[in-house]
Structure 1
Amino acid sequence: MNARMRQIVLDTETTGLSWEKGNRVVELGCIELIERRPSGRHFHRYFNPGREMEAGAQEVTGLTLEFLQDKPRFETAVEEFLDFIRGAELIIHNASFDVGFLDYELSLAGAHFGRITDHASVLDTLAMARERYPGQRNSLDALCRRLGVDNGHRKLHGALLDAELLAEVYLGMTSGQGDLGLLAAGEPESAKGRAGPDLAAVAAVARVVLRADADELAAHEARLRKIAGKAGKSLWPLPEPAA
C-alpha cells in the first residue's frame, strides 16, 4: 500500500530580509495536509532571536524584542521541528527566502542537522504562480484576491496565519489535480476530512443524464442559425433541414 501524501504548508517571520547579515527566524508556522486535506496538526513557535528586529520587519509583523525576549531560542525546537516535517513535501511561498533562513538556523544549531532538503522536499508556490499567471502580481495577498480566499483579517504578517492562507491558495491553484473533496453517494458525513472518496465507489454511482426536449433543441438550432448569419457558416455544425 502506498503511503499517504503528506504536505506541510510552511511560513516564517524573521528579524530582517537577509540571513547573510545575521537576521534570524522569530516565528515559524506549519500546517499539515494529508491527501490535500488539513489534518488538524500544526507546528507553531515564536523564538528569541538574540538581536533587534529591523524596523521594516517589526512594522509588517508587529513583533518586538520585548515580546520575544522570554521565548525559547530556535535551537531548542530543532529536533521537534524536523520530526514534524520529515518525509513531507513543504509548500512554501518564495521558498528560497524561508529555506535560506531555516538552513542558516540549522547550521547554527549544529552541522549534523544538515539542510532542510535533507529532511523534506520543497515546492515553491511563487514559482508555480508565476508560471500560471505570467505578468501578474503573485504575492500572497494578490493570490488570495485572485482565488477568492478571504484575507481580510490579515492586518499583519504572521507565520501561522500566512501558512493557513497559503494552504487555501495552494489548494485553489491545484484544484484540478487530485481529489476535489466530493463524497460518493451514500458516504456518511463523518467521512469528511478523511483522505477522500474511493474512486471506484464514485465511478459506480449511477449517473443521471438529462437530454434536451424538443423546445430546447429548436431554440438551440435557432441560435446556431443566428450565429451563422447569411453566410451560413458556423464553428458548430448546423442541423440538416427537414426533408
Structure 2
Amino acid sequence: MRQVILDTETTGIEPKDGHRMVEIGAVEMINRRFTGRTYHQYINPERHIDAEVVAVHGIDDARVANEPVFAAIADEFWAFIEGAELVIHNAPFDVGFIDHELNLANKKRHGPVLGPVRDHCRVLDTLTMARQMHPGQRNSLDALCKRYDIDNGHRVLHGALLDAEILADVYLAMTGGQTALSLDAEASAEREQSAQASEGMAIRRLVLTPGQLRVIRPNSAEEAAHSAKCQTHQLRWHEGETNDA
C-alpha cells in the first residue's frame, strides 16, 4: 500500500477568508516502509502573511516572494499524491486548503481538472485516530511525540516537511510499526528471509521431565538494578500523564 504522510503551512485558518498555502511537505511510504521519496515546496500565496502566523511557522512575505504560485506546481504535487492514502494530522484542515488551491488552479489551466482530494485519495486523519485511542487526553502532534517517546526537540517552529516526517514516526508508533526514518536494507532483508523461512512451520512442543529445565535466579545486584529500572519507568509514566492532562 502506498501512503503519503503530508502537512501544510498556510497564511491563516480559513480558505474561505482568502487564506492560502505557503508550504507543502510530504513523505512517501510503501507497505509501511520509507521509500526515500519526499515532496517539499514553498509557495507564493499571492497575499500578505500576517505577523501572528509568521510567529508559528516562520515563513514571511520575503521568504516566499520568489517562490512559484500553486498553479505552477499543481501538476507536480498532484502526481506525488494521486492514488495514495494520505496520512494527515487534522486532515479536514489540510485537505480543505489543498482542494481550495486546486479549485483556483483549475480555473487557470487548460489540462485535465485536478481534485478534489477525496475523489482520488483515501484520507486517514491521525488526530481522529488519536482521539479514539486516547480519549480525554491532549492529542496534538507534540503531545503524541511525548506519549510515544519520539524525539521532536529539533521542532522549534512548525515546518511542513519536518512535521510530516515527525507525523510519520508518530503514525507508525500508533499502529505498532517501525519508527525510524532510515532503514537498514540489509537487516530488513534478513528479517524478511527469516520470516519466510518460518512460514508454514508447525509448532513443536517440548516434553520435559522435572529437572531438565534449568532456572537461573538473579543475584542481589541484578534485583536492585531491576527495581531501579521499574521505578524510573513508573516516574516517567506518571510525569507524562500529568503533563498531558
Question: Is the TM-score greater than 0.5?
Answer: yes
> Partner residue of 2:71?
75
Q: Any idea what SS the aligned residue of 1:59 has?
A: helix
Q: Distance in 1 between matches of 2:178 and 2:160?
A: 26
Determine the C-alpha separation between the residues in 2 that align with 1:207 and 1:71.
Answer: 64
The match for 2:226 is: none
Q: 1:16 to 1:202 in 2, by over 3 A?
A: farther
Distance 2:104 2:8 in 1: 17
- In structure 1, the residue matched to 2:232 is none
CA positional deviation for 1:56: 2.3
1:92 maps to which of 88, 95, 98:
88
The question of whether the paired residues in 2 share the 8 Å contact of 1:11 and 1:163 is answered with yes
> Would the aligned equivalents of 1:31 and 1:164 in 2 still touch at CA under 8 Å?
yes
Q: Runs of 5+ in structure 1 lacking a partner?
A: 182-188, 217-243
- List per-residue Cα deviations over 1:15-51 (Å, max 9, x = no partner): 0111110100000000001111111000000000011
Structure 1's 149 and 84: CA in aligned 2 closer, same or farther, altered over 3 A? same
The number of equivalent residue pairs is 201
State the partner residue of 1:161. Answer: 162
Partner of 1:232: none
1:101 aligns with 2:110: no
Contact 2:172/2:178 (<8 A) preserved:
no
Alignment TM-score, normalising by the size of structure 1: 0.75
Q: 1:17 to 1:197 in 2, by over 3 A?
A: same
Distance 2:205 2:39 in 1: 45
What's the secondary structure of 2:93's corresponding residue?
A: helix
Q: CA shift at 1:149, angstroms?
A: 0.6
- Seen in structure 2, the aligned counterparts of structure 1 residues 61 and 193 have a Cα distance that, compared at 3 Å, is farther
State the distance in 1 between where 2:3 and 2:156 align. Answer: 27
What secondary structure sits across from 1:41 in the alignment? Answer: strand
Q: Deviations over 1:154-205 (max 9, x none)?
A: 0000000000000000000001xxx659xxxxxxx644467x7264324459
Q: Post-superposition shift, 1:148?
A: 0.6
- Separation in structure 2 between the aligned mates of residue 207 and residue 150 of structure 1, nearest angstrom: 42
Q: Which has the higher helix share?
A: 2
38 and 213 in structure 1: CA distance in 2 versus 1, 3 angstrom threshold: same
Compare CA radii of gyration and give the structure with the larger one: 1
Asked whether the equivalents of residues 16 and 56 of structure 1 are also in contact (C-alpha less than 8 Å), the reply is no
The 1:96/1:153 distance shift into structure 2, 3 A limit, reads same
* Corresponding residue SS for 1:156: coil
Distance apart, 1:134 and its partner CA: 0.3
> CA separation of 1:190/1:32 partners in 2, compared to 1, >3 Å: closer, same or farther?
closer
Does residue 142 of structure 1 match 2:161? no
Select 2:11's aligned residue among 15, 25, 31: 15
Deviation at 1:12, TM superposition (A): 0.1
- Deviation, structure 1 residue 213: 3.5
> Following the alignment from structure 2 to structure 1, what is the Cα–Cα distance between the partners of residues 102 and 83?
17
AA aligned to 1:174 is T
